[in-house]
């Protein structure tokens, strides 16, 4: 495929740093790059407590475990997200409550939850889907009113902002993924940032088999091995050094798509751009109004362009059906009509023009 949805670009210090790991014989999880990567991440996110993990899913599990909830306590989660978000809740013995997304964008809308919060509901796990920031003010008010912890799943939204603040800096803890197709990658990898030192320390201990920080091989709690390796952190550090450049490229790409697809305004829609919001578009996406989504996917494929439908609603899939509490009209709308387009930073303006012209020809 000439234009896949995602392709990784390694043009910085990635190889140099990985070679240093081999040279110094630090390839496992206690080498110097781990701390350097966590520190640089902390700086960007103005957080004192950043914890690297083996992937974005283990980051979510540790974030949830750090809240010290009771088995079967409930966690609100959007019905439209990648399955890792809900799997992490179930895998730590909590119960998900599926919430519909909004009509005007594809992020969680707490208005649709009327009377669904009960005594067992303890947290809300939100997702900034495809890079689009959630309406944080509204979510934080809802969480405060209902005494809920807030976790932000920023796997798809590194660098996105709302009200001039990075998403991930609002919640009690926030998680990130550095999977190969993500805006910033370490191959596999994740990060959590915490507001609270106690929660950070608990997650840190859990990440390393529950081992005491002071007495090696003395285990204080039953833990996991969710550590990142120094090799991954070396790649991550090199990627973080290009943070501003990568964000600039992502924003450029979304602007080019919007310009070149303008003439299709009766046939497609873009997710809204609210004031004071910066969407870094992990995947640039369009909403197709005229039921031509499958035709478009197949036709683009013949032209060597990958287009990917939105995630399926969780409530539609067998493992999660039992958590459905209502009709999910808005999530179903986006499942049916949403389409993601190639979004990697090496796309140049000529590539995007070609992709947009092809879409325009096919839809006209
Ligand atoms: C919204 C969301 N949450 C969590 C994850 C899990 O991250 P990982 O694949 O690194 O485990 C992903 C992506 O893969 C994701 O898109």
Residue 337 has pLDDT above 80, yes or no: yes
Specify the ligand 1 atom closest to the Cα of 81.
Answer: 1
Whether the per-residue pLDDT at 327 is higher than 90: the answer is no
Average pLDDT, the chain: 96
**What 8-state DSSP symbol labels residue 321?**
G
Is the pLDDT at 148 greater than 80? The verdict is: yes
Query: CA–CA separation, 104 vs 267, rounded Å?
Result: 17
Distances from the Cα of 298 to the Cα of 2, 103, 287, 295, 332, angstroms: 15, 27, 16, 5, 21
> Tens digits of per-residue pLDDT, 48-88?
999 999 999 999 999 999 999 999 999 999 999 999 999 99
Q: How far is the CA of 264 from the centre of ligand 1 (A)?
A: 32
pLDDT at 274 over 90: no
Place of tokens 């902390």: 42
Structure-token match 């902002």, residue found: 161
Q: Which of 156, 173, 186 to mutate to test the pocket of ligand 1 (most atoms within 8 A of CB)?
A: 156
pLDDT at 289: 78
Nearest CA to ligand 1 atom 4: 84
Distance 117 CA to ligand 1 centre (A): 26
Structural domains in the chain, CATH included, are 14-240 (3.40.640.10), 244-363 (3.90.1150.10)
pTM to 2 decimal places: 0.97
**Whole-number percent of the chain with pLDDT over 90:** 91
Q: Provide the token pair at 80.
A: 């439209």
Compute CA 186 distance to the chain's CA centroid, rounded to the nearest angstrom.
14
Ligand 1 atom closest to Cα of residue 181: 14
Instruction: State which of 54, 56, 128, 153 you would mutate to test the pocket of ligand 1, scoring each by most atoms of that ligand within 8 A of its C-beta.
Output: 56
Of 64, 84, 129, the one to substitute when testing ligand 1's pocket (max ligand atoms within 8 A of C-beta) is 84
Whose alpha carbon is nearest atom 8 of ligand 1?
56
> Looking at residue 80, what is its pLDDT?
98
| Chain center to CA of 8 | 17
pLDDT score of 290 more than 80: no
Section 300-304 average pLDDT: 97
Distance (Å, whole) CA 292 – CA 295: 5
User: Residue 82 C-alpha to ligand 1 middle, in angstroms?
Assistant: 7
**Contact of 221 with 66, CB cutoff 8 Å:** no
Buried b (16+ CB within 10 A) or exposed e, 314-331: bbeeeebeebeeeebebb
Instruction: Using the mean position of ligand 1's atoms as its centre, give its distance from the Cα of residue 56 in Å.
Output: 5
Residue 132 has a pLDDT of 98
CA dihedral 343, 344, 345, 346 (to 10 degrees): -120
Tell me the two tokens of residue 218.
């003395």
Does pLDDT of 36 surpass 90? yes
pLDDT band with cut points at 50, 70 and 90 for residue 2:
very high
pLDDT in tens, 160-183: 999 999 999 999 999 999 999 999
Under 8 Å between Cβ of 95 and 89: yes
Pocket of ligand 1 (CB under 6 A): 55-57, 81-82, 84-85, 127, 153, 155-156, 177, 179, 190
Q: What is the pLDDT of residues 84-116, one digit of tens each?
A: 999 999 999 999 999 999 999 999 999 988 778
What would the mean pLDDT of 269-292 be, rounded to a whole number? 92
CB contact at 8 A, 166 and 159: yes
Handedness of CA 194, 179, 224, 68 (dihedral sign): positive
Whether residue 37 has pLDDT greater than 90: yes
- d(CA 58, ligand 1 centre) in Å: 9
pLDDT digits (tens, 9 = 90+) for 189-221: 999 999 999 999 999 999 999 999 999 999 999
Distance 128 CA to ligand 1 centre (A): 11
Q: How far apart are the first and last CA of the chain?
A: 24
């Amino acid at each position: 495929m000439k234009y896949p949805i995602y392709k990784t670009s390694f043009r910085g210090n990635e190889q140099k740093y990985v070679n240093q790991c081999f040279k110094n014989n630090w390839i496992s999880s206690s080498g110097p790059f781990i701390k350097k990567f966590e520190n640089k991440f902390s700086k960007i996110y103005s957080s004192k407590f950043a914890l690297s993990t083996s992937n974005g899913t283990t980051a979510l599990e540790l974030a949830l475990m750090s809240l010290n909830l009771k088995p079967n306590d409930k966690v609100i989660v959007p019905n439209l997200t990648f399955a890792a978000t809900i799997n992490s809740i179930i895998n730590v013995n909590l119960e998900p409550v599926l919430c519909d997304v909004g009509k005007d964008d594809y992020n969680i809308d707490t208005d649709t939850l009327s009377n669904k919060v009960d005594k067992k509901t303890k947290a809300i796990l939100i997702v900034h889907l495809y890079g689009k920031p959630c309406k944080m003010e509204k979510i934080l008010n809802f969480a405060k009113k209902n005494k809920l912890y807030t976790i932000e799943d920023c796997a798809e939204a590194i660098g996105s902002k709302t009200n001039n603040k990075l998403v991930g800096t609002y919640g009690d803890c926030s998680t990130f993924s550095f999977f190969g197709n993500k805006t910033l990658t370490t191959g596999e990898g994740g990060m959590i940032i915490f507001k609270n030192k106690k929660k950070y320390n608990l997650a840190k201990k859990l990440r390393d088999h529950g081992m005491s920080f002071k007495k090696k091989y003395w285990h204080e709690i039953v833990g996991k091995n969710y550590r990142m390796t120094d090799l991954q952190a070396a790649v991550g550090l090199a990627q973080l050094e290009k943070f501003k450049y990568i964000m600039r490229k992502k924003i450029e790409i979304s602007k080019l798509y919007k310009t070149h697809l303008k003439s299709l305004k009766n046939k497609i829609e873009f997710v809204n751009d609210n004031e004071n919001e910066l969407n870094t578009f992990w995947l640039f996406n369009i909403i197709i109004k005229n039921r031509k989504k499958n035709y478009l996917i197949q036709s683009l494929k013949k032209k060597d362009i990958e287009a990917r439908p939105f995630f399926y609603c969780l409530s539609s899939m067998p493992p999660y059906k039992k958590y459905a509490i209502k009709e999910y009209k808005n999530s179903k709308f986006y499942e049916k009509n949403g389409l993601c387009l190639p979004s990697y930073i090496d796309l140049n303006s000529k590539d995007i023009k070609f992709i947009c012209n092809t879409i325009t020809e096919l839809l006209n």
